[in-house]
Amino acid sequence: MSKRALVTGAGGFVGKHLTRYLRNCGWQVIGCDISPQEDIHVCNLLDREQTKVFLKSISPISHVFHLAAISFVPQSMENPLSCFQMNTDSVIALTHLLYQCYGSQIHFLFISTSEVYGQPCYLPIDENHPLNPQNPYAISKLASDFYCKYLYKKGILSTTIIRPFNHSGAGQNERFVLSSFAKQFIEIEKGIKQPILHVGNIEVKRDFLHVSDVIRAYEMLAQNEGNGEAYNLCSGKSHSLKQIIDILQTLTGIKVEICIDSERTRANDIQEIYGSCEKLKKNIPWEPRYSITDIINDLLNYWRKRIEVNSF
Cα–Cα distances (Å) from 34 to 2, 43, 225, in that order, read 26, 5, 29
Please tell me the class of the 177-205+237-272+290-310 domain. Answer: alpha beta
Question: What is the torsion angle, in degrees rounded to the nearest 10, for the CA atoms of residue 233, residue 237, residue 241 and residue 242?
Answer: -170
- Written as one letter, the residue type at 159 is T
Q: What is the mean pLDDT of residues 128-154?
A: 97
At 23-58, the pLDDT tens digits run 999 999 999 999 999 999 999 999 999 999 999 999
Global pTM?
A: 0.95
pLDDT, mean over the chain = 95
Going by C-alpha positions, the residue among 300, 72, 304 that lies closest to residue 166 is 72
Q: Which pLDDT belongs to residue 114?
A: 97
Q: In the chain, which residues fall in CATH 3.40.50.720?
A: 4-168+208-233
Q: Which pLDDT belongs to residue 1?
A: 63
At 64-115, the pLDDT tens digits run 999 999 988 889 999 999 999 999 999 999 999 999 999 998 999 999 999 9
| Burial of 220 (C-beta count, 10 Å sphere; 0-12/13-18/19+) | middle
Please determine, for residue 309, whether its predicted confidence score (pLDDT) is greater than 70.
Answer: no
Q: What is the mean pLDDT of residues 230-234?
A: 98
At 251-270, the pLDDT tens digits run 999 999 999 887 766 666 88
Q: Which pLDDT belongs to residue 312?
A: 37
At 50-76, the pLDDT tens digits run 999 999 999 899 999 999 999 888 899
**High-pLDDT (> 90) share of the chain, %:** 91
CB neighbour list of residue 211: distance below 8 Å, 6 or more residues apart = 13, 14, 17, 167, 168, 169, 170, 171, 172
Q: What is the mean pLDDT of residues 166-181?
A: 96
Going by C-alpha positions, the residue among 30, 150, 66, 52 that lies closest to residue 102 is 52
At 195-216, the pLDDT tens digits run 999 998 999 999 999 999 999 9
Q: Which pLDDT belongs to residue 308?
A: 72
Q: In the chain, which residues fall in CATH 3.90.25.10?
A: 177-205+237-272+290-310
Cα–Cα distances (Å) from 102 to 3, 117, 156, in that order, read 15, 33, 11
Going by C-alpha positions, the residue among 61, 30, 64 that lies closest to residue 221 is 64
Task: Compute the distance between CA of residue 33 and CA of residue 123 in angstroms, rounded to an integer.
Answer: 36
Q: Which pLDDT belongs to residue 171?
A: 97
4-168+208-233 belongs to which homologous superfamily? Answer: NAD(P)-binding Rossmann-like Domain (3.40.50.720)
Q: What is the mean pLDDT of residues 185-203?
A: 95
Q: What is the mean pLDDT of residues 170-195?
A: 96
